[in-house]
Structure 1
Amino acid sequence: MNDQPLWALTAGQLAQAFAAGSATPVQALEAVLARHDAVNPRLNAVVTLDRAGAQVAAQASAGRWARGEALGLLDGVPLTIKDNILTAGLRSTWGSACYADFVPELDETPVARLRAAGAVILGKTNVPEFTVQGVTDNALFGPTRNPWNPGLTPGGSSGGAVAAVASGIGPLALCTDGGGSIRRPAAHAGLVGLKPSRGLVPRRHGFPAILDNFEVVGPIGRCVGDVRAMLRIIAGAEAAAAPPTAKRIAFIPRFGEAPVDPAIAASVAEAAERFAGLGHAVERLDDYTLVEPVNAIWSIVSETGVAWLLDAHLGLGRDAPVQPGIAAMAERGRGHSASDYLGMLRTLEAAGEAFDALFSRFDLLLMPATAAQPWPVGQTHPDVIDGQLVGPRGHAVFTAFANALGLPGLTLPGKPDRDGMPIGFQLIGPQGSDDRLLALGAAYEQAFGGFPMPVLSGDEG
C-alpha cells in the first residue's frame, strides 16, 4: 500500500491510512483532485466537480480522525455520485437539456446517508440522457471514454461512474441500475458492482421514477469490501456477514440462441470452474430460455416511462429539447396501450414464479454480465456479436430480468481478454440474498485476486 499513490488506494486502505496517521482525508482529496485534473479531460467521467465542497468535507473529516471520532470506514473517503441521483446544492442534470440548470435543494436518501457517514462527495458522473441507454453520451457533456481504451465506451448508464473509479477519481461511486446499468459498465471497466435487492436501499427526493421500482441505487468499487461498506451505509442497516459456505450454483453460459462474445464465454466458463474448485456445486444449464419473455417486453417499461416523463410530468411532449433517440423512444411509448402494460405485468408474475422454482434448486446463478466487449465511442451499441447481427439490446440480454424481478446481482472481474480489456461475470440470487452474493464474491476475490487499474497514457509508474 505504501508504494501506491493515495488516489489508487481502496476505501478500506484509505481508512487504514487515516487511522494510522500516515495520511489524512485532506491529503487523499488533494491526490484524487490532482488525478481528476490529469485524466478527466481525456475521459469525461466527472461532469460537475464540487472542489470547494469536497475540501470543506475533507477538512471536517480530518478533524474527526485526529480526535478519534471517525464516523466509520467511509469517513473522509472521496467518492462520486451518478448524475441521475440528486445532490443538494449541486447541479443534477440526468444528462438532459430538460434539467441542464437544475440544482436540487435536497439530497436523495442514499446521498444524505453518505454525507452523514462522513464521505467526501467529489461531484457528479456522466450519464446518457434519462439513463435509458447502454452507452454514456449526451448533448450536454458528450461521450465518456473507457480508461482501459479511450477509443471505446465504458457502456452505460453508469459509464461516467466506472470511468471515474477505474481511473482513480475516487475509489467508490454511487450509481443506479435500472436494467443492468451498474453491472454491465462494471464488467467493462474491471470493477465490482452491486445491484441490490428491490427495496433494500430506500429512495426519496429523487428524479421521477420512469422505470418504476425496477431501478435501484447501488455501489461500484474496486473491491468487494468497499462495495459492502457503501451498501451498509446506504441501506441504513448493518448487514449480517453471510458465511461463505458451499453453494449450489447454476452456470448459465447463454440465453437461448442469443450470441455471446467468445472471449466473454471463455472467461465466464473459467469463473465457473474456479467456483467448482472452491467447493461449490456448479451445474451448467444449456438451452436456457427462462428470461426470454422478460427481455421481449422490456422496451414497454422504458418507452412508456420516457413518454410519461415528457408528456405528463414535464408537460413538454413532442417539443421537449431531447436527443433524437429519446424522442423516438417517447413516440414509441405513446403507442403502447394500457393493455400492453398490464400484459407486461402478467408476464413478470409468471417469470417470478418460474424463478422461484429455479431458486428452489440453486442458491445462485452465474452468467455473463454482458454479451459484448466495449465498442467504439460514437456507436450506441454493437451491431454484431460473435458473427451474428444483434439489435440495440443484444449486448444487454443478461441483466434486465434481475431488475424486473427485484433480484440482487453482483458483477466481479474475471479473466481479462487477450488484449487486456476487462471481462466481468455476474452472480444473481433470490431477493434478499445480497449478503450471500457479497460473501461469495469476497471469497472469490481472496482466492483469485482483483483486477489491476488501467495505465493511462502519460501515467508514471
Structure 2
Amino acid sequence: MSELHTLDAHDLVALFRARRATPVDVFEAASARIAALEPRINAMTYIAATGRVEAEASARRWREGAARGPLDGVPVTIKDNLAVAGMPATFGSPAYRSFIPVEDELPVARIRQAGAVVLGKTNLPEFALEGYTDNALFGATGNPLDPALTTGGSTGGGAASVAALYAPVALGTDGGGSLRRPAAHCGLFALKTSIGRIPRRGGLPQLLLDFEVAGALTRTLRDTKTVYETMAATVSASAPIAPPEPPLPRPPLRILAVEFFGDAPLDPEIGRSFQAFIDRLATHGHDVRAGSLPLDVEPLAEVWPEIGRAHLAKLFAERPEIGAAASPKYRAMAEEGARLPATRMLAILERVAVLREQAARMYQEIDIVVTPSIAALAWPKTQSHPTQINDQPVGPRGHAVYTGWVNAAGLPALAWPTNPASDGRTIGVQLVAASGADRLLLDFEGRLTAKD
C-alpha cells in the first residue's frame, strides 16, 4: 500500500471502505508530514486542535456503516480568508489577527458536513489581493518543489499544502486567478466555477465585486469533481442564483487555443508546454484552432487594480479599526481607492457588463478556450512579481494576464498541469467554458486528457 499521505481523496475513501486504513491513520500521517516540513514551507497559519477528534468521529462512522460520502475522513486545509467556526480567519492581515468566526462560511460548512477533517488554515497575501503569498503576520510561503520560490497567490498556502502532501484537498478562493495560477506553479488541478455555482455566505468581505468564488486545489481531477459536487449542492431560494447548465456539446469539441494576449510576453518554456498540450488535444480528434481571444479585455485590465483599492476604501470607511490596523501598503491602496470618483466605478461596471455580453456571444461559436495559466515561471517567494518575462519588463500583473478576464466574465475555468520546464518548475493551462458549463470541464476528462 502506498504511503497514506501520497494518496488522493478517492483512494483514501476506498481504503476506509475496505477497512484497510482509518481516518485516524490518515490524520496521523498528515500531521507527521506537516511537522516534518513546516515551517520551511510555511503553508500553514494555524493547526486545528480539533483534527484528531474529527478523524475519530469519521472512523466511527465508517465502522458503523454511516459514512457521509466521498470526503468523509479526508484531510483538507482551508485558506485563511474562509471562515471556519472556532479557528482564526486572519485575512493575512494584522487587522484580523484576533478574529475568530463563530460559524462556518457556507462552502466550509458543506465540506465539514460531508465529514472532511480540517487540518488547519493556510497562508495568503494580505486581504487576498496579490499574486504571491507573503504577509506581515506569517511571512512568505515557499514552493514545495523549491522553498525559495513562490507558489503564486493568493491561494498560495493552500497550493503548497497539497503539493507538499499535507492533504489531498485545499479549499481556497479565486478572484482573478488565485486558484489557477498557484495550481500551475505547484502542478495541481483547480476549478474556478461560474459565478453563483458555489454559493458564499457568512464570510469575510469580498473585495473584487462578484468575481471571487470558492473552490479547491487537488492533485487529481476526480478529487476536483468530488469537491465541486459537495460544495455546489442546491440551496434555498434566497441564495445567489447559479447560471443554468447548457447542454453538453457533441464531439468533437470546438477549441480555441490562445497562446498570447496581445503583445504581453510569455516565458518560452511555458509556450512550449502549452503547444504540446494543444497538440495532444488535437490527437483526440477535437477541432482545435489557434487564434487570438475575440474579446476586448484590455479596458478592464487597465483598471483592474482600482477594483480592489475601491473595495478596501469602502471596508476601511465602514470599519475604521480595520484600516488603522492594516499594513501601510494596504492603507495606501485604500487611500487611492477613496480618491476614485463614482463615475470611475460605474465605468468599470459597464466594462464588466460588456465583457460578459461578448463572452456569451463567443461561446456560440466555440466550446472551450485554452490559454496558459501563467506567463512566468515561479520567481523568488518574497518578490511580489517578476520584473521581466522573456527579457521584457513587466508590471505587477504581467505574470497574471491570462486569468482575470475569466473572473470578470463570470466563466468557469479548469487549471490543468502540463509538461514542466527544463529545470522542473511546474506549468499549467486553463480550459475556459461558457457560463454555467462547469460540468463540461469536469465530465469530459477522457476527451481532455493530455496523453503522450
Shorter-normalised TM range? over 0.9
| 2:298 equivalent to 1:295 | no
Q: How does 1:212-227 map to 2 (within 5 A)?
A: 212-227=209-224
Aligned residue in 1 for 2:238: none
Determine the C-alpha separation between the residues in 1 that align with 2:329 and 2:271: 31
Equivalent residues in 2 for 1:109-124 (5 A)?
109-124=106-121
**Structure 2: how far apart are the matches of 1:243 and 1:53?**
45
Map Cα deviations across residues 411-434 of structure 1 (whole Å, 9 max, x no partner). 000011001111000011111111
Supply the distance in 2 between the matched residues of 1:359 and 1:64 (Cα, whole angstroms): 45
Deviation at 1:322, TM superposition (A): 2.3
Please state how far the C-alpha of 1:442 moved relative to its aligned partner: 5.3
Counterpart Cα distance in 1 of 2:111 and 2:248: 24
**Corresponding residue number in structure 1 for 2:355:** 351
Following superposition, the deviation at residue 212 of structure 1 comes to 2.4
Of 279, 283, 287 in structure 2, the residue corresponding to residue 281 of structure 1 is 287
Choose from 237, 257, 265 the match for 1:259. 265
Does residue 1:308 correspond to 2:314, yes or no?
Answer: yes
Return the offset for 1:219: 1.1
Pick from 407, 424, 427 the counterpart of residue 423 of structure 1.
427
Conserved 8 A contact 1:256-1:287: no
Question: Alpha-carbon deviation of 1:324?
Answer: 3.2
Indicate the residue corresponding to 1:386 in structure 2. 390
Given candidates 180, 192, 203, the residue that maps to 1:206 is: 203
Aligned to 1:33: 31
* Structure 1 residue 104 displacement after superposition: 0.6
Q: TM-score, normalised by structure 2?
A: 0.95
User: Match for residue 241 of structure 2?
Assistant: none
How far residue 334 of structure 1 moved from its aligned partner, in angstroms, is 1.2
SS at match of 2:408: helix
Identity of aligned residues (%): 44
Letter in 1 for 2:184: A
Aligned to 2:178: 181
Pair 1:146 & 2:149 matched: no
**What's the offset of the Cα at 1:244?**
8.5
Given candidates 328, 343, 346, the residue that maps to 1:342 is: 346
Determine if contact 2:267/2:376 at 8 Å carries over to the other structure: yes
- Structure 2 residue 448 is the aligned partner of structure 1 residue 444: yes
- How many angstroms apart in 2 are the aligned matches of 1:111 and 1:244? 35
1:397 maps to a residue whose letter is V
Within the candidate set 105, 117, 120, 1:108 is matched to: 105
The CA distance in 2 between the partners of 1:76 and 1:224, in whole Å, is 19
TM-score of the aligned structures, taking structure 1 as reference length? 0.93
Q: CA deviation at 1:34?
A: 0.3
Unaligned runs of 5+ in 2: 236-244
CA contact (8 A) 1:241 1:439 kept: no
The answer on 1:9 being equivalent to 2:15 is: no
2:215 alignment partner, SS class = strand
- Structure 1 residue 401 and structure 2 residue 412: aligned? no
Matched, 1:83 2:59: no
CA contact 2:132–2:151 (8 Å) conserved in 1: yes
Kindly provide the amino acid, as one letter, of the partner of residue 262 in structure 2: G
Report how many aligned residue pairs link the two structures: 443
Q: For the structure 1 residues 135 and 345, does the alpha-carbon distance in structure 2 shift closer, same or farther, using more than 3 Å as the test? A: same
What SS is found at the alignment partner of 1:413? strand
CA contact (8 A) 1:117 1:233 kept: yes
Q: 2:129 aligns with which of 122, 129, 132?
A: 132
Q: What residue identity is the alignment partner of 2:300?
A: V
1:321 corresponds in structure 2 to 325
Q: Secondary structure at the match of 2:78?
A: strand
In the alignment, structure 1 segments of 5+ residues that lack a partner are 450-461
Paired with 1:410 and 1:76, the residues of 2 have a C-alpha distance of 26
Tell me, yes or no, if the aligned pair for 1:256 and 1:289 is still in contact at 8 Å. no
Partners of 2:251 and 2:34 lie apart in 1 by: 41
